[in-house]
Structure 1
Amino acid sequence: MKKTIAILLLCLCRFAQAQIPQPDPDTTAKHFLIVASIKNLQEISAGEQAIQRAKKPEIKSFGQMMIKDHRGAEQQLLTLTKLQHIDLPPQATGGIKPDLLLAGTPNFDSAYVHAMSAGHGNTVQMFENYATTGKDPAVKAWAQQMLPSLKMHLERIKIIEKQLK
């Protein structure tokens, strides 16, 4: 009888351990990567618009740089998500249109530059935040790696913005 009670208690203890909730995974890494992916795709799409619609060669050149740099960043991001076993929703990896509704804008150059300046300011802030406070070491390292390029984009668009004024 004592053996039966001991076995029963042992089973109950193991069952109780199985019911203890496990710590939540770092959802902030997934959220950060989703937003970063959307931003990459928006920059690529907006860069394509700049190549087609911009009048000033420096804005076309900036658009080309956005396409090249953000395509590279997106490839790195997708590789990172595979290595980290993070599944991004389809909405974050394709079919993204730019935030810009510039089709009928009479002064595309000015609208594009303003949008890029504000957008890159927000993006740099987001990457700096994750690079310093992020929980996932691999995602944090990637954010740190991307910051110099993003800051360079911001500096360059600020220069173009001053030239337009």
Structure 2
Amino acid sequence: MKKLILILISSLGVDTVRAQIPQPDPDTTVKHFLIVASIKNLQEVSAGQLALQKARRPDVKAFGQMMVKDHGDAEQKLLALAKSRNVTLPPAATGGINPDLLLVNAGGNFDEHYVHSMVAGHLNTVEVFQNYATTGKDPVVKAFATQMLPTLKKHLDDIKAIEEKMR
């Protein structure tokens, strides 16, 4: 009987502790999404600028140009959105982002490395935006994610088509 009472008291203590753990602030998910999306935009712009300099294939250069324009435009919309939602993004999410060192040092294999990087990056980006568009809490940010998805999916389709031609 004494063991049963100790077990009951112990289990009540665990439930009390669990109840005191603060739940995440819903705005944290908004801020997290905006930070991740901003970093992704800046990475695409940075890598796109590098593609304009180093790519040998015209289709890879053209894709790089599209990344600079589309993700540069998306970044401006995102920054305005963050401001309207009273979200301050950290400098790491808004400052200059250096291109991946594998791309910088790719030499004659730049096109292959860039295309592989863009396929992987856009698969991940589409997933991040799709997730927020589906489960996001802030309706304005959710609308932004939903609005961006067709462009991101087109980028993914375009880079996959380039990848296929390179095989």
Q: TM-score by structure 2 length?
A: 0.83
Which of 137, 140, 145 is 1:138 aligned to?
140
Structure ranking higher in helix proportion: 2
Q: CA RMSD in A?
A: 1.6
- Please list every run of 5 or more consecutive structure 2 residues that lacks an aligned counterpart in the other structure: 1-21
- For 1:67 and 1:28, locate their aligned partners in 2 and report how far apart those are by CA, in whole Å: 27
In the alignment, is residue 75 of structure 1 matched against residue 76 of structure 2? yes
CA contact (8 A) 1:100 1:115 kept: no
Can you give the 5+ residue segments of structure 1 that lack an aligned partner in the other structure? 1-20
For this pair of structures, how many residues does the alignment match? 145
**1:79-131 deviation line (CA, Å, top 9, x unaligned):** 00111000000110012112352222130000000000010000001100000
CA distance in 2, matches of 1:45, 1:153: 16
Deviation for aligned residue 1:24: 3.0
Tell me the equivalent position of 1:163: 165
- Measure the CA separation in 1 of the matches of 2:79 and 2:102: 27
1:34 to 2:65 alignment: no
Instruction: Say which is worse superposed, 117-126 or 24-33, in terms of deviation.
Output: 24-33
Query: Is the 8 Å Cα contact of residues 46 and 100 (structure 1) preserved in structure 2?
Result: no
C-alpha separation in 2, matches of 1:40 and 1:96: 10
Q: 1:62-90 deviations in whole A, cap 9, x for unaligned? A: 00000000010000000001110000001
Per the alignment, do residues 44 and 144 of structure 1 end up closer, same or farther by CA in structure 2, a change over 3 Å counting?
same
- For 1:96 and 1:62, locate their aligned partners in 2 and report how far apart those are by CA, in whole Å: 19
User: In structure 1, the residue corresponding to 2:104 is in which secondary structure?
Assistant: coil
Larger radius of gyration: 1
Give the TM-score taking structure 1 as reference length.
0.84
Structure 1 ranges of 4+ moved more than 2 A: 98-101
Checking the alignment, whether the CA contact within 8 Å between 1:47 and 1:64 is kept in structure 2 is: yes
Q: Which residue of 1 aligns with 2:90?
A: 89
Residue 25 of structure 1 and its aligned partner are, at CA, apart by 4.4
